[in-house]
């Protein structure tokens, strides 16, 4: 194993934003993000907190989630933990919320697709953790412009196992990863960066209920077990510009949530009219299988259906 070192690199985060810069010396015409926030995203690869949802809405969404869980055999199953904006009307609305899209637009421009939504739920006092990894090593999307908006529906604290991020790691080439399939690892393959991470460099992304964090596709991140007495509940919204392409499969889908689709690289997902709208659920079933094939590509688990019943989802 080699030791991770922060490297300077000429790559620019969120290249689409560059075209939005005003002539030298003038401010970027951002809708909601401050210049400092945009600089932090480019320099560090993440920025927090921003407003995600109100505390009232966070409580309501949690109630809806937990009501669904209670009626469906307990904790949200793997197959329900991704592309969930096709299953839950409130989440379909949240991924289209103007204040969230304004922040995303500041980073990737006015044409925005929601490619995925991922739940990260750690039960109270549970061993679940996320190993150090970079999302762009696994999702097959050919873009530097994927933006994650990670919304806390319960407090994300050091005790509850908040995300940890390695500032500037998005500027490096992809680091080597290995599949560990480790028990309690929430990631599909237990994928782990195969270099030593200096934990002293990492930043704890602590968030109050309703707050959100923005971060880059390439950022190295991890989280530790929840040692609190409450569930740690978060949902991550994944946005891309229509220029993105899926490189690991012939077919992929996304919801056009703002502007226009200038490239046609993704089949457009339907907007559910209610929770478990049959049309959207049928679409989710197709997308679920495809996501599994992408995430398990080149592994012995490619044909396993572990995500339909187990705790793991294709992250």
β 253-258/112-122 pair status: antiparallel
| Cis? peptide before 49, omega within 30° of 0 | yes
Nearer to Ni ion, 182 or 279 (CB): 182
> Out of 44, 135, 206, 277, which residue is the one contacting Ni ion (CB under 5 A)?
135
Nearer to Ni ion, 138 or 283 (CB): 138
Minimum CB distance to Ni ion, residue 279 (Å) = 29
Spell out the residues 6+ positions from residue 79 whose beta carbon is closer than 8 angstroms to its own: 288, 307, 308, 313
Compute the distance between CA of residue 220 and CA of residue 171 in angstroms, rounded to an integer.
10
Stretch that binds Ni ion, among 40-48, 62-70, 132-140, 170-178 (CB under 5 A): 132-140
Over the window 105 to 124, marking each residue x when it contacts Ni ion by CB under 5 A and - when it does not, the resulting string is --------------------
Nearer to Ni ion, 283 or 296 (CB): 296
Q: Does residue number 211 form part of the binding site for Ni ion (CB under 5 A)? A: no
CB 105 within 8 Å of CB 112: yes
Minimum CB distance to Ni ion, residue 221 (Å) = 6
Minimum CB distance to Ni ion, residue 115 (Å) = 13
Compute the distance between CA of residue 297 and CA of residue 302 in angstroms, rounded to an integer.
6
Residue nearest to Ni ion (CB): 135
Burial level of 275, CB count in 10 A (0-12/13-18/19+)?
middle
Minimum CB distance to Ni ion, residue 138 (Å) = 8
Q: Does residue number 206 form part of the binding site for Ni ion (CB under 5 A)? A: no
37 three-class SS: helix
Q: How many residues bind Ni ion (CB under 5 A)?
A: 1
Classify the C-alpha dihedral 219-94-228-125 as positive or negative: negative
Integer CA distances (angstroms), 228 to 105, 107, 119, 166, 231, in order:
35, 34, 18, 24, 8
Nearer to Ni ion, 131 or 154 (CB): 131
Minimum CB distance to Ni ion, residue 237 (Å) = 13
Stretch that binds Ni ion, among 134-142, 263-271, 277-285, 292-300 (CB under 5 A): 134-142
Minimum CB distance to Ni ion, residue 25 (Å) = 37
Compute the distance between CA of residue 39 and CA of residue 18 in angstroms, rounded to an integer.
12
Nearer to Ni ion, 254 or 295 (CB): 295
CB 172 within 8 Å of CB 124: no
Minimum CB distance to Ni ion, residue 301 (Å) = 18
Stretch that binds Ni ion, among 22-30, 42-50, 127-135, 177-185 (CB under 5 A): 127-135
* Residue 270 C-beta-side C-alpha neighbours within 13 Å: 17
Site residues for Ni ion per CB under 5 A = 135
């Amino acid at each position: 194993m080699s030791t991770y070192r922060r490297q300077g690199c000429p790559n620019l985060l969120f290249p689409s934003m560059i075209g939005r810069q005003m002539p030298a010396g003038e401010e970027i015409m951002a809708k909601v993000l401050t210049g400092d926030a945009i600089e932090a995203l480019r320099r560090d690869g993440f920025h927090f907190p921003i407003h995600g949802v109100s505390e009232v809405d966070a409580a309501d969404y949690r109630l809806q989630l937990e009501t669904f869980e209670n009626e469906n055999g307990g904790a949200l199953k793997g197959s329900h933990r991704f592309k969930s904006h096709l299953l839950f009307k409130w989440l379909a609305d949240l991924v289209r919320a103007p204040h969230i899209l304004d922040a995303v637009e500041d980073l990737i421009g006015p044409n925005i697709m929601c490619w995925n939504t991922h739940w990260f739920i750690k039960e109270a006092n549970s061993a679940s953790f996320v190993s150090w990894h970079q999302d762009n090593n696994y999702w097959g999307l050919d873009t530097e412009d994927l933006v994650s908006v990670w919304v806390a529906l319960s407090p994300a604290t050091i005790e509850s196992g908040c995300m940890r991020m390695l500032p500037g790691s998005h500027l490096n080439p992809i680091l080597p990863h290995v599949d560990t399939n480790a028990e309690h690892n929430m990631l599909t393959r237990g994928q782990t960066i195969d270099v030593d991470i200096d934990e002293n460099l990492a930043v704890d992304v602590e968030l109050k209920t309703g707050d959100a964090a923005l971060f880059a596709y390439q950022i190295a991140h991890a989280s530790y077990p929840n040692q609190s007495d409450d569930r740690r509940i978060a949902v991550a919204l994944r946005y891309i510009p229509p220029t993105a392409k899926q490189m690991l499969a012939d077919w992929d889908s996304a919801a056009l949530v703002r502007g226009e689709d200038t490239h046609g690289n993704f089949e457009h997902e339907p907007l559910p009219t209610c929770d478990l709208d049959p049309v959207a659920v049928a679409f989710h079933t197709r997308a679920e299988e495809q996501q599994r094939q992408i995430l398990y590509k080149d592994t012995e688990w490619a044909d396993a259906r572990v995500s339909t019943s187990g705790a793991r989802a294709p992250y």
